[in-house]
Chain A
Amino acid sequence: MNSRTSQLEADQTIDLRLDNPDDGSGSATQDSAAREPSQPAARRRKMTLTTRVSAVLTFALFAVAILAPIVAPYEPDIGDRSQRLLPLFSGSHVLGTDGQGRDILSRIIWGARPSLLAGVVPVLVAALVGTALGLVAGRGSRRVHSVIMRVLDVFYAFPAVLLAIAIAAALGSGISNAIVALSFILIPPVARVAEAEVSRVRSTDFMEAAAVSGAGWWSISIRHVLPNVAPAIVVYCTALVGLSIVYAAGLGFLGLGIAPPTAEWGLMVNDLRQYTFSQPGIAVVPAVVITIASLLFNLLGDGLRDWLDIRSEAQ
């Protein structure tokens, strides 16, 4: 009996693993052998190659950022005056050097730390706050719903980037202020997605059955609503990381992010901009890196959506 109940607990967690369940040959075959299901089980599709590649590359990106001290060939902040402005693929400086003779590859690698941080943390904050707002709006009374959604609409009235710049400028420069500003502007879109999903789930039959069961607001939200809205929010937020990286770089470019000697992608774009005509190869490097990183998260988000088969549950 005990093992069965613990199994029950384990099954209740949402399954968002990245490994493909089709590859696992163990328990699944055992189970289906026990009793013939009347309808084909396991509707989960195979992950596309693009999704796999972008998942691996995203993972690699994080690994490189974490292992920066080991991976980076040079010190990021200390330059060699005699090695200024070397072009791409020049000897040991694969991506060249900047105006102070610092190795650009090393700066890109070290710069991944603040850039990814400013990409991921605001999205995590926005996911938490946005989901909570969406849940309260989607399940609350009509008045609560309109108060929350109308306030969010106010933020929609401003272009997100401008709002981020305004907030970051008001708070003063620094990476933590940039993260606060970005978190703030990402909350409304997440909350909207969450609200739409909660509203969709709210009108289903099983929600009515749950309400009639006499369970409380919280337990219904946690057991019935969140597991059904989580996949869509996770997918949306994955793609949002890409956007957040671009926004963070934008703030860095304007000097509203991290302070100069430290490497950060947006800051590097600004720094190398002056060599656009003299040394065009190195000038575009950080911009290309930002583009690739942002694209990776977008592709990953798209792939996850197809793979998790975010569908209208009613079919």
Chain B
Amino acid sequence: MSDTQTTVEPVRMGRKATQPLLIVNDLVKTFGNGVKAVDGVSFTISPGETVGLVGESGCGKSTTAKLLLRTLDPDSGEVKFGGQDLLGMRGRALRRLRSRFQIVPQNPQTSLNPRLPVRSSIEFNLRAHGVPKPERVERIAEVLEQVGLPGAYGDRFPHELSGGQLQRAAIARAISTRPELVICDEAVSALDKSIQAQILNLLAEFQKELGMAYLFISHDLSVVEHISDQVLVMYLGRIVEDGTGSQLWNRPGHPYTEALLSAAPGAERERIVLVGDPPSPANPPSGCTFHTRCPIAIEACSTKRPLLKPTAGGSHAACIRTTDLQQP
């Protein structure tokens, strides 16, 4: 009990904290079949910040999340959460540290246990945090109200709720334990546009109120760009661009980012259609992995792997042709 209290404290204090909450350094994961799902990913998340992770399916977004949650073990790299080494942890210590973050999974239909009433699903998390019984009941009522579900819905089973209601319940569960970091893995992708907006607003409200950080994973740049302080664009296991939403929107530093932006509905830019499917991550192209589909690729792109470098637009991009791309 008492340690839940102390772990919550720094978040509240540190809206402008200088020490990052999560540091990910050069994370690599290759699966047994040779698929390089995550290939040297590095980023940081500060307390109270929203970081968006964007890319098409199969680019390693969800694998990255799984590595952070330690449901998968990385081959190499470093993950520090609140100054502690997450990867070196085992057993009880890992469980305790891991309980400081929560997830909102992708599919609302499976994110709650179908055989438990919503209330019990939330209570399970609270009990795992050592919250005593009377307080659990109180807290459940509180979070249900916060996500806008009438208290009676707590006694319902998941199959009695709609997709939007289920996602609200999943969010209620995630915030009930007052986490410092919430990982939203495609949390709104399965919902209607109108409900998407509601859920996004809800998440933004909680952030203001409770000061937690989000890692927001999505394939939809228009969703992420809206709510994120920082956006990471991922392609074939690598981060190809890293910047604020407006930086990316105004002056993308990587052709892939530009292609993603042009695909968003209502984008007032020339549509860039990428040819073909992404190459197999088991056998990624040499040099810049995007060169096979890049509209502005040159000879040199296929030989040397570009690193993230600052661009004129303010973002960091891994592309040797950034300056040409950003010319007005």
Chain A: residues with CB nearer than 8 A to chain B? 1, 4-5, 7-8, 11-12, 14, 34-35, 37-39, 41, 43, 204-206, 208-216, 219, 223-224, 227-228, 313-315
A223 adjacent to B170 (CB under 8 Å): no
B120 adjacent to A11 (CB under 8 Å): yes
B113 adjacent to A227 (CB under 8 Å): yes
Asked if B160 is an interface residue, CB under 8 A from chain A, the answer is yes
A206 adjacent to B105 (CB under 8 Å): yes
18 A-B pairs, CB-CB below 8 angstroms?
A1-B137, A5-B133, A5-B137, A8-B123, A11-B155, A12-B116, A205-B110, A211-B71, A212-B69, A213-B99, A213-B129, A215-B95, A215-B125, A216-B95, A216-B128, A219-B128, A223-B113, A224-B116
C-alpha gap A213/B98 in the complex (Å):
7
Closest CB pairs A-B (n = 5):
A214-B99, A205-B105, A215-B128, A227-B115, A213-B125
Instruction: Determine the chain B residues whose CB is within 8 A of the CB of A210 once the complex forms.
Output: 113, 124-125
A38-B165, A205-B107, A206-B121 known; A212 and B159 CB under 8 Å? no
Instruction: Determine the chain B residues whose CB is within 8 A of the CB of A223 once the complex forms.
Output: 113, 116, 120, 124
Q: Which of B114, B115, B128 has the most CB of A within 10 A?
A: B115
Asked if B150 is an interface residue, CB under 8 A from chain A, the answer is yes
A8 adjacent to B106 (CB under 8 Å): no
A41 adjacent to B177 (CB under 8 Å): no
A8 adjacent to B120 (CB under 8 Å): yes
Chain B: residues with CB nearer than 8 A to chain A? 69, 71, 95-96, 98-99, 101-103, 105-107, 109-117, 119-121, 123-125, 127-129, 133-134, 137, 150, 152-153, 155-156, 159-162, 165, 170, 173-174, 177
B159, B162, B170, B177: the one contacting A213 at CB < 8 Å is: B177
C-alpha gap A4/B125 in the complex (Å):
19
C-alpha gap A12/B160 in the complex (Å):
16
Instruction: Determine the chain B residues whose CB is within 8 A of the CB of A205 once the complex forms.
Output: 105-107, 110-111
A34 adjacent to B95 (CB under 8 Å): no
C-alpha gap A204/B96 in the complex (Å):
22
B124 adjacent to A204 (CB under 8 Å): no
B117 adjacent to A37 (CB under 8 Å): no
C-alpha gap A313/B95 in the complex (Å):
27
C-alpha gap A211/B105 in the complex (Å):
12
C-alpha gap A120/B200 in the complex (Å):
54
Q: Which of B125, B160, B173, B174 has the most CB of A within 10 A?
A: B160
Q: Apart from A209-B102, A214-B96, A219-B127, what 16 extra A-B contacts exist at CB < 8 Å?
A: A1-B134, A8-B120, A11-B155, A205-B105, A206-B111, A210-B113, A212-B69, A212-B99, A212-B101, A213-B102, A213-B177, A215-B124, A223-B116, A224-B113, A224-B116, A228-B113
C-alpha gap A224/B125 in the complex (Å):
12
Kindly report which residue of chain A lies nearest to residue B69, judged by CB atoms. A212
User: Would you give the shortest CB distance from A292 to chain B, in whole angstroms?
Assistant: 34
Instruction: Determine the chain B residues whose CB is within 8 A of the CB of A313 once the complex forms.
Output: 110, 114
User: Would you give the shortest CB distance from B162 to chain A, in whole angstroms?
Assistant: 4
Kindly report which residue of chain A lies nearest to residue B94, judged by CB atoms. A214
C-alpha gap A5/B162 in the complex (Å):
25
Instruction: Determine the chain B residues whose CB is within 8 A of the CB of A7 once the complex forms.
Output: 155
B98 adjacent to A37 (CB under 8 Å): no
User: Would you give the shortest CB distance from A210 to chain B, in whole angstroms?
Assistant: 7
B115 adjacent to A14 (CB under 8 Å): yes
A39-B160, A208-B71, A213-B125 known; A8 and B117 CB under 8 Å? yes
Instruction: Determine the chain B residues whose CB is within 8 A of the CB of A14 once the complex forms.
Output: 115
B99 adjacent to A314 (CB under 8 Å): no
